[in-house]
């Protein structure tokens, strides 16, 4: 679809009066500009030695803003080589192609060897370099630099938009999109400058301090347009397609170089509108393509290397948003901060289905930042899984099955996981990929469903896996230097940590060791371990209540040095890792951080001492998948179970004969209640020191060690 300069002046008859675009059963209103009957397409010229007088046709103008004020539909504006500061535009003008300027072309001057390398719009101090509100606009052969937000913003002009800043209206407006833009052969670098001065008046507040300011070329509600052969480097983020005011579909993003955008993705297809999927009534869950959505776009033959987040991203915001049936083919994404190709659905009632990923090259991608800075790719409640190791392709769905994803013919190398998919994304069609992974890695890894398996750890460091829980290694013969007392798994269940009573920690699978207490003097032995939700750290707890945090496990208090009626026997973290509970053998509970106190057995008569604690999840934020913990279980050595808060009682072994005492409790599967967005555990397992397993509620029995002779008794358990 690339058009030569020679064709620009012949575009008089092309869509000067744009017809309404009908999509599905609704009507999408496109912006319309009508030239007077018989009007000729004007050619306007701008030069650094020009003057902002007249029509810019007989003599050169000085600024692009003034030339746009003199232009009409289908005009061509030619910029001679030079630098054109936006700040020099006369009062009342700007570098905005208004909605009446359909068919306008803005280009460098080939007759004077003009190109993007020498024809520069310097947007220092301006919100945007160029804003395009009209249909069929071409931007060719320019540099657009130093804007506070987007370098090039393409969007309809509506009462709710200011450039590409969008303020949601009180009532849903008529869907509106821009059509037919052509953005080619440009250099769009060093924009998103608000990162350097975020308090400036034209700087919106991003979702978090590490996010972008709209990325650099932003197509917001744009259809049937092309962005090709541009260089997009050294911004916060690269090329962004969203759908705030109407659908974004049928676009082609091809042949662009999108490298080194430090804090965000290279090429992003993001569903922002919550009108793209019906969230109520008889059509609930069905896409609404006439209203919104990012769909049927082609991302072809681009290079997206060394960006701060994903190289290529297809993801949606809250419930009702959609990014579906897009194709990513022939692209290269190397050395990006998240997976080369990342597909995310982390809210209910989204449509992220049917995206196709073929014949791309991904390498050295998905390097999580980890505990020293932002956490890596960590979205969703604990019942979903999070990625803690490098991956070429990642497909994540938290709340509903993701269908129709095709991953074929890609070349993937120098990563831990070639293709990583969460349990609800496991229907992906994966074939014909050439995958080479790092030592210990897996070409295709599917996260086991929550509650689909469990692990046991014995005192000698032996690990035993059951159901969908994978075996990733052990520390046989007490190689930790002391008996193993705890096991905790990574968020995606692709690995686990073992801890010994001396505080030594060993990591297996995709678990990373973030430190230990090996060789350090302890006032009391370590008795338990709990991992953070992100999987970039863990806490250790000692029997005197001392707590030790490693990685991103923040210290929020302890009972070390305080009087205890009974020794501490376990630790459990809240689902958001903002706090933790300690439990004593008398059932006393000590809460820290955002861990709420829901009750205890302290001061009550127990038949046998408490030996373990497990937390359950509670309310879910449907926008970001975050979870607030609201309950816990305690288990005694005779199998008695005591539930507090939202942790339901589903049975126990109290009062029943046991061959060996219970040593651990592990939560089973979760059920999401969409009516109130609660995440409720539906079962749990009790594990005895002889490896016997007792299942309650909907926790299925996957096997045990009860009939086997063990070299060392089981000391701890964990579950997917």
- Per-residue pLDDT band for 332 (boundaries 50, 70, 90) equals very high
- Per-residue pLDDT band for 207 (boundaries 50, 70, 90) equals low
Position 628 pLDDT exceeds 50: yes
Q: Where are the domains of the chain?
A: 1-114, 147-166+184-446, 453-719
- The CA distance from 664 to 458, in Å, is 12
Nearest to 17 by CA among 100, 75, 98, 77: 100
- The CA distance from 651 to 640, in Å, is 9
The torsion of the CA quartet 465, 466, 467, 469, rounded to 10 degrees, works out to -20
Token pair 């101090």: residue = 125
Position 626 pLDDT exceeds 50: yes
Please give the helix or strand (H or E) that residue 69 lies within, else none: helix 64-70
**CA torsion sign, 420 to 423 to 425 to 430?**
positive
At 250 the pLDDT is 98
- The CA distance from 160 to 142, in Å, is 29
Per DSSP, the residues of 325-363 read S-EEES-EEES-SS-SEEEEE-SSS-B----EEES-EEE
- The CA distance from 545 to 558, in Å, is 6
At 619 the pLDDT is 60
Nearest to 263 by CA among 212, 317, 189: 212
Choose between 377 and 280: higher pLDDT.
Answer: 280
- The CA distance from 483 to 207, in Å, is 45
At 455 the pLDDT is 98
Per DSSP, the residues of 115-172 read -TTTEEEE-TTSS-SEEE-SSS-EEES-EEE--SS-SEEE----TTEETTEE---SSP
Token pair 């945007």: residue = 128
Per DSSP, the residues of 567-626 read -EEEEEE-TTSSEEEEEETT--EEEEETPPP----TTS--SS-EEEEEEEEEEE-TTT--
At 372 the pLDDT is 42
The Cα angle at residue 596 between residues 591 and 602, in degrees rounded to 5:
55
At 5 the pLDDT is 24
At 510 the pLDDT is 94
Pairing, β 662-667 against β 683-688: antiparallel
- The CA distance from 499 to 514, in Å, is 12
At 23 the pLDDT is 34
pLDDT in tens, 32-89: 444 433 345 899 999 999 999 999 999 999 999 999 999 999 999 999 999 999 999 9
- The CA distance from 240 to 486, in Å, is 45
At 199 the pLDDT is 79
- The CA distance from 434 to 410, in Å, is 6
- Per-residue pLDDT band for 27 (boundaries 50, 70, 90) equals very low
For all residues of the chain together, what is the average pLDDT? 89
The 8-class DSSP code of residue 2 comes to: -
Mean pLDDT, residues 459-463 taken together: 96
- The CA distance from 715 to 484, in Å, is 7
- The CA distance from 419 to 286, in Å, is 28
At 364 the pLDDT is 92
CATH of 453-719, one of 2.120.10.30, 3.40.1160.10, 4.10.780.10, 1.10.1740.10: 2.120.10.30
At 370 the pLDDT is 47
pLDDT in tens, 529-582: 999 988 899 999 999 999 999 999 999 999 999 999 999 999 999 988 889 999
pLDDT in tens, 359-414: 999 999 866 544 444 344 554 444 445 688 899 999 999 888 999 999 999 999 99
- Per-residue pLDDT band for 243 (boundaries 50, 70, 90) equals very high
């Amino acid at each position: 679809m690339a058009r030569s300069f020679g064709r620009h002046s012949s575009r008089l008859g092309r869509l000067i009066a744009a017809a309404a675009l009908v999509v599905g059963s609704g009507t999408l209103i496109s912006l319309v500009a009508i030239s007077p009957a018989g009007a000729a397409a004007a050619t306007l010229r701008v030069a650094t030695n020009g003057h902002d007088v007249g029509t810019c046709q007989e003599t050169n103008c000085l600024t692009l803003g003034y030339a746009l004020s003199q232009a009409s539909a289908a005009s061509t504006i030619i910029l001679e080589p030079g630098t054109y500061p936006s700040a020099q535009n006369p009062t009342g003008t700007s570098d905005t192609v208004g909605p009446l300027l359909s068919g306008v072309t803005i280009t460098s001057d080939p007759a004077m060897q003009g190109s993007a390398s020498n024809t520069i719009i310097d947007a220092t101090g301006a919100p945007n370099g160029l804003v395009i509100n009209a249909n069929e606009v071409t931007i060719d052969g320019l540099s657009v630099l130093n804007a506070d937000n987007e370098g090039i913003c393409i969007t309809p002009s509506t009462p709710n938009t200011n450039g590409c800043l969008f303020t949601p209206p009180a009532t849903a407006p008529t869907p509106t999109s821009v059509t037919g833009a052509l953005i080619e052969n440009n250099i769009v670098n060093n924009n998103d400058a608000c990162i350097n001065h975020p308090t400036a008046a034209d700087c919106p507040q991003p979702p978090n301090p590490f996010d972008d300011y709209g990325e650099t070329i932003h197509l917001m509600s744009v259809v049937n347009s092309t962005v090709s052969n541009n260089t997009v480097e050294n911004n916060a983020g690269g090329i962004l397609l969203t759908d705030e005011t109407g659908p974004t579909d049928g676009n082609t993003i091809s042949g662009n170089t999108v490298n080194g955008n430090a804090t965000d993705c290279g090429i992003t297809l993001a569903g922002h509108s919550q009108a793209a999927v019906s969230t109520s009534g008889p059509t609930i869950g069905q896409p609404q393509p006439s209203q919104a959505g990012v769909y049927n776009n082609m991302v072809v033959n681009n290079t997206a290397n060394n960006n701060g987040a994903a190289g290529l991203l297809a993801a949606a915001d809250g419930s009702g948003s959609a990014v579906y049936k897009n194709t990513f083919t022939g692209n290269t994404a190397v050395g990006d901060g998240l997976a080369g190709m990342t597909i995310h659905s982390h809210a209910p009632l989204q449509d992220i289905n049917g995206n196709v990923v073929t014949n791309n090259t991904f390498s050295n991608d998905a390097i999580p930042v980890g505990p020293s800075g932002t956490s890596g790719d960590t979205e969703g409640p604990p019942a979903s899984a999070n990625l803690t190791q490098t991956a070429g392709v990642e497909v994540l769905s938290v709340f509903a099955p993701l269908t129709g994803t095709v991953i074929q013919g890609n070349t993937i190398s120098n990563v831990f996981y070639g293709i990583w998919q969460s349990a609800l994304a496991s229907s992906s069609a994966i074939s014909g990929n050439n995958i080479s992974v790092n030592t210990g890695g897996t070409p295709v890894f599917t996260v086991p469903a929550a509650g689909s398996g469990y692990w046991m750890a014995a005192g000698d460091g032996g690990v035993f896996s059951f159901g969908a829980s994978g075996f990733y290694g052990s520390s046989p013969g007490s190689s930790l230097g002391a008996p193993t007392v705890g096991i905790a798994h990574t968020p995606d269940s692709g690995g686990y940590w073992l801890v010994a009573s001396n505080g030594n920690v060993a990591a297996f699978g995709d678990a990373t060791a973030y430190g230990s207490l090996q060789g350090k003097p302890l006032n009391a032995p370590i008795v338990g371990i709990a991992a953070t939700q992100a999987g970039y750290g863990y806490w250790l707890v000692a029997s005197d209540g001392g707590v030790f945090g490693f990685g991103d496990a923040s210290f929020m208090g302890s009972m070390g040095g305080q009087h205890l009626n009974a020794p501490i026997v376990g630790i459990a973290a809240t689902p958001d890792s903002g706090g933790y509970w300690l439990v004593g053998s008398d059932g006393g509970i000590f809460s820290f951080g955002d861990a709420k106190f829901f009750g205890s057995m302290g001061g009550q008569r127990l038949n046998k001492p408490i030996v373990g604690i497990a937390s359950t999840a509670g309310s879910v934020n449907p926008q970001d998948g975050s979870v607030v913990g609201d309950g816990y279980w305690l288990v005694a050595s005779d199998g008695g179970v005591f539930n507090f808060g939202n942790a339901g009682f589903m049975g126990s072994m109290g009062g029943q004969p046991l061959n060996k005492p219970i040593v651990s409790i592990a939560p089973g599967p979760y059920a999401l209640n969409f009516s109130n967005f609660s995440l409720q555990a539906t079962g749990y397992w009790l594990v005895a020191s002889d490896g016997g397993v007792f299942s309650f509620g909907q926790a299925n029995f996957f096997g045990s060690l009860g009939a086997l002779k063990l070299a060392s008794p089981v000391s701890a358990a964990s579950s997917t």
